[in-house]
Structure 1
Amino acid sequence: MSNHILFLLADGFEETECVAPYDILIRGGVKVSLASIHTDPFVEGAHGLTIRADALLSELDPSLYSGIFLPGGGRGVENLRNSQAVQETVRSFMGAGKWVTAICAAPIVLAAAGVLHDKRVTSYPSTEPDIRSYCKSYSQDRVVVDGKLVTSRGPGSAEEFGLQLLALLEGKDKSEDVRKGMVAR
């Protein structure tokens, strides 16, 4: 299966954490689909940017994707965590050994889904107490990879997160080519 990552979007998502990894993965040749967890394809970010999702999560077959991505953002994470469909999707992807990726506060969604018990993770600093007791170990590294689970700290690490994820999906050479083309650090 070629890599096809499903971005789960909820009202209140952190724009930088969504757009930077999306752009990096697309530049690297990874297919990305945006799914609204709501009944409307238009999803409003935490700072007013509205994105039109490709589809509604309720209309999709998760087996067609090689991984999922959950952006942070306080209200967005709350909406993701409160969605039974998101919880089921997270558990399904983890159980199938697919990529599960989350940034900023979004690892709270993974904790709520009960999939972190044997994993090393990171998250936005203020969410550490909410996640620490649900995972094997907590790290303050900017990006943490534990098998097919990838987590990151916040908006400031979104580019690094995207490049790391691209390296995992398509190889270090592809990630380095994209990094150079973007004039990224």
Structure 2
Amino acid sequence: MAICHLASLSPSPFIRFAPKRLFLSSRAFPSSLKNKSFSATTMASAVQKVLVPIANGTEPMEAVITIDVLRRAGADVTVASVEKQHQVDACHGVKLVADTLITDCVDSVFDLISLPGGMPGAATLRDCAILESMVKKQAADGRLYAAICAAPAVALASWGVLKGLKATCYPSFMEKLSSAATAVESRVQKDGHAVTSRGPGTAMEFSVALVEHLYGKDKADEVAGPMVMRSNHGEEYTLREVNFLEWKFKDTPQILVPIANGTEEMEAVMIIDILRRAKANVVVASVEDKLEIVASRKVKLVADMLLDEAVKLSYDLIVLPGGLPGAQAFSNSEKLVNLLKTQKEANRPYGAICASPAIVFEPHGLLKGKKATAYPAMCNKLSDPSEAENRVVVDGNLITSRGPGTSIEFSLAIVEKLFGRQKALEIARTMVFTKP
């Protein structure tokens, strides 16, 4: 039950800022955003304050990608729970810990308020009177507000802040949206001070568009480049496979995803979320001495168990997210390295993304005789970088990938190896990663 009550609102010292004109890039953004001009709330070089509210049932990819990308740009992002406690149980069993409660944000002014989707999370956000009042004030004062997936239709439309504007949302909510806005099928739509988007598979495009609005094209390009984003949004994913090997499992595949302080949160959450969508049994294990870890962009994630407990089990697949400090923690974990070596020796699948192939697998002999890829700046550490330019590489029982912007492709490739390409494409369409 959400804690938001209108009676708890106190007068807020909102400040109106003079607008500055900015323009979205015509490259790497949807056509609905091209040639659109709009105002930023402060100087593009200033630190922008952003609020991302979360609730039980929030879609974790949409929340975490938004937080991560905006923090990469230098934004001061506050993650606020609209529940009675800081920890929320997001969709697909992902546990997130907010920075604060929404009641503590009443007197703050934000340059952007961005709502993730997911059900029933979007409905809980809608029913939060504090959040509703803040977003209505945001719209009235000409400051940026945004929502993705179910949230544009369920929350923004019901609050009346999309009236007369073009907006988009998750495909199955388009009819609901059309009663309160001009519904369009753009992957990202900007109109007035509202930015909307379609689902988990458009969350990275959505987040980079928010960066460009707040900071300008140069900053958006600076943030997008290192993430290794796709240029062909909406198209089917591809993978490079050599030495074909069928991945086998009994009943339900058992998958281990370790996390550590400094793990790249986008990569971890996308892997966990997508594999659980495929109905795999995913165990999230902390290599630290407690369940809660602080990821690379300060997102707080809660594991299912400690690695000490997780190593007692057997897995059909072990898959490592990246993030340099997290990968170093994995490499320094004797228990995890031994588990990975046992996995390889048993010819059972294992994989990694971003820094982890180079920092964990390579020095411990887990890439010997294998083709692999890694984060571009670390491919020179690979003993065989001949396939490193590919976004996803499968070599027998090994799968590797490049970075945050390849995480969905990486996860879908795992689904394909376990359940077949049709299942992977079905999930891709459901997430609006590919065209629905």
TM-score by length of 1: 0.95
**Counterparts of 1:122-133 in structure 2 under 5 Å?**
122-133=168-179
Aligned to 1:184: 229
Q: Check if 1:115 corresponds to 2:177.
A: no
Mind listing any 5+ residue stretches in structure 2 that lack a counterpart?
A: 1-41, 231-436
Percent of counterpart pairs with the same letter? 38
Report deviation, 1:82: 1.7
Amino acid at match of 2:188: V
Q: Check if 1:41 corresponds to 2:86.
A: yes
The structure 2 residue matched to 1:104, chosen from 140, 145, 149, is 149
Amino acid at match of 1:40: Q
Amino acid at match of 2:98: A
Aligned to 1:166: 211
Distance 1:85 1:61, change over 3 A: closer
Q: Comparing both chains, which one has the higher relative contact order based on Cα–Cα distances under 8 Å and sequence gaps of 6 or more? A: 1
More helix by share: 1
Q: Check if 1:69 corresponds to 2:111.
A: no
Q: Do the aligned partners of 1:62 and 1:89 also contact (CA within 8 Å) in 2?
A: no
TM-score by length of 2: 0.41
SS in 2 for 1:12: coil
Report deviation, 1:156: 0.4
Count of residue pairs the alignment pairs up: 184
**Whole-Å Cα distance in 2 between the matches of residues 62 and 159 of structure 1?**
29
Report deviation, 1:22: 1.2
Amino acid at match of 2:225: K
Please identify the structure whose Cα radius of gyration is greater: 2
Amino acid at match of 2:159: A
Q: Check if 1:23 corresponds to 2:79.
A: no
Where does structure 1 differ by over 3 angstroms across 4 or more consecutive aligned residues? none
Mind listing any 5+ residue stretches in structure 1 that lack a counterpart?
A: none
**Whole-Å Cα distance in 1 between the matches of residues 108 and 143 of structure 2?**
10
Q: Do the aligned partners of 1:98 and 1:148 also contact (CA within 8 Å) in 2?
A: yes
Aligned to 2:287: none
The structure 2 residue matched to 1:81, chosen from 126, 129, 137, is 126
SS in 1 for 2:157: helix
Amino acid at match of 2:60: E
Give the CA RMSD over aligned residues. Answer: 1.2
